[in-house]
Amino acid sequence: MSRLPDSPLAVSLGDPAGIGPEVIAKCWDNRSAFNLPPFVAIGDPRSVAAVWDGPIEVIADPREADSAFDFGLPMIQLAAAQADIPGHPSVAGAHTSLDSLELAVGLARSGSAAAVVTGPVAKEQLYAIGFQHPGQTEFVAERCGIAPANVVMMLAGPTLRTVPVTTHLPIRDVPDRLTISLIESRGRATLRGLQRNFGIAEPRLAVSGLNPHAGEGGALGRAEIEVIEPAIAALAAEGWIVTGPHPADTMFHSRARAHYDAALCMYHDQALIPIKALHFEEAVNVTLGLPIVRTAPDHGTAFDIAGQDRADPRPMAAAIRMAVECAQIRAETA
Per CB under 8 A, 277 contacts its own copies: yes
Candidate list 241, 273, 305, 331; residue touching its own copies; CB under 8 A? 273
Phi/psi at 56 (nearest 5 deg)? Answer: -115, 130
Contact 324, 284 (CB under 8 A): no
Per CB under 8 A, 304 contacts its own copies: no
Per CB under 8 A, 213 contacts its own copies: yes
Q: Which among 28-36, 42-50, 264-272, 321-329 is the span making contact with its own copies, rule CB under 8 A?
A: 264-272
What's the closest the beta carbon of residue 150 comes to its own copies, in angstroms? 22
Candidate list 8, 193, 215, 245; residue touching its own copies; CB under 8 A? 215
What's the closest the beta carbon of residue 254 comes to its own copies, in angstroms? 7
Candidate list 225, 278, 305, 331; residue touching its own copies; CB under 8 A? 278
Per CB under 8 A, 270 contacts its own copies: yes
DSSP letter (8 states) at residue 112: S
Candidate list 192, 204, 268, 314; residue touching its own copies; CB under 8 A? 268
Contact 120, 19 (CB under 8 A): yes
Q: What is the rounded distance in angstroms from the CA atom of residue 142 to the CA atom of residue 261?
A: 28
Task: Considering the complex, state which of residue 199 and residue 247 has its C-beta at the smaller distance from its own copies.
Answer: 247
Q: Which among 29-37, 55-63, 99-107, 270-278 is the span making contact with its own copies, rule CB under 8 A?
A: 270-278
Per CB under 8 A, 34 contacts its own copies: no
Q: Which among 36-44, 72-80, 181-189, 204-212 is the span making contact with its own copies, rule CB under 8 A?
A: 204-212
Q: What is the rounded distance in angstroms from the CA atom of residue 53 to the CA atom of residue 249?
A: 46
Task: Considering the complex, state which of residue 72 and residue 247 has its C-beta at the smaller distance from its own copies.
Answer: 247
Candidate list 252, 261, 296, 326; residue touching its own copies; CB under 8 A? 252
Q: What is the rounded distance in angstroms from the CA atom of residue 148 to the CA atom of residue 183?
A: 15
DSSP letter (8 states) at residue 40: E
Candidate list 200, 220, 234, 331; residue touching its own copies; CB under 8 A? 220
Task: Considering the complex, state which of residue 34 and residue 280 has its C-beta at the smaller distance from its own copies.
Answer: 280
What's the closest the beta carbon of residue 302 comes to its own copies, in angstroms? 12
For 103, the enclosing helix (H) or strand (E) is helix 91-110
Per CB under 8 A, 7 contacts its own copies: no
Strand partners, 263: 162, 206
Candidate list 280, 305, 314, 331; residue touching its own copies; CB under 8 A? 280
Q: Total residues contacting its own copies (rule CB under 8 A)?
A: 36
Task: Considering the complex, state which of residue 99 and residue 249 has its C-beta at the smaller distance from its own copies.
Answer: 249
Query: Closest Cα partner for 86 from 54, 120, 47?
Result: 47
Contact 40, 332 (CB under 8 A): no
List, in sequence order, every beta strand (DSSP E) within 61-202. Answer: 73-77, 116-118, 152-156, 161-164
CA distances from 30 to 11, 24, 59 (A): 16, 10, 21
Candidate list 221, 225, 234, 243; residue touching its own copies; CB under 8 A? 221
Strand partners, 208: 246
Q: Does residue 79 sit in helix, strand or coil? A: coil
Q: What is the rounded distance in angstroms from the CA atom of residue 191 to the CA atom of residue 196?
A: 9
Q: What is the rounded distance in angstroms from the CA atom of residue 78 to the CA atom of residue 104?
A: 11
Per CB under 8 A, 133 contacts its own copies: no
Contacts of 35 by beta carbon, 8 Å cutoff, 6+ apart = 321
Residues that bind its own copies (CB under 8 A): 167-172, 174-175, 210-213, 215-216, 220-223, 248-250, 252-255, 267-270, 272-274, 276-278, 280
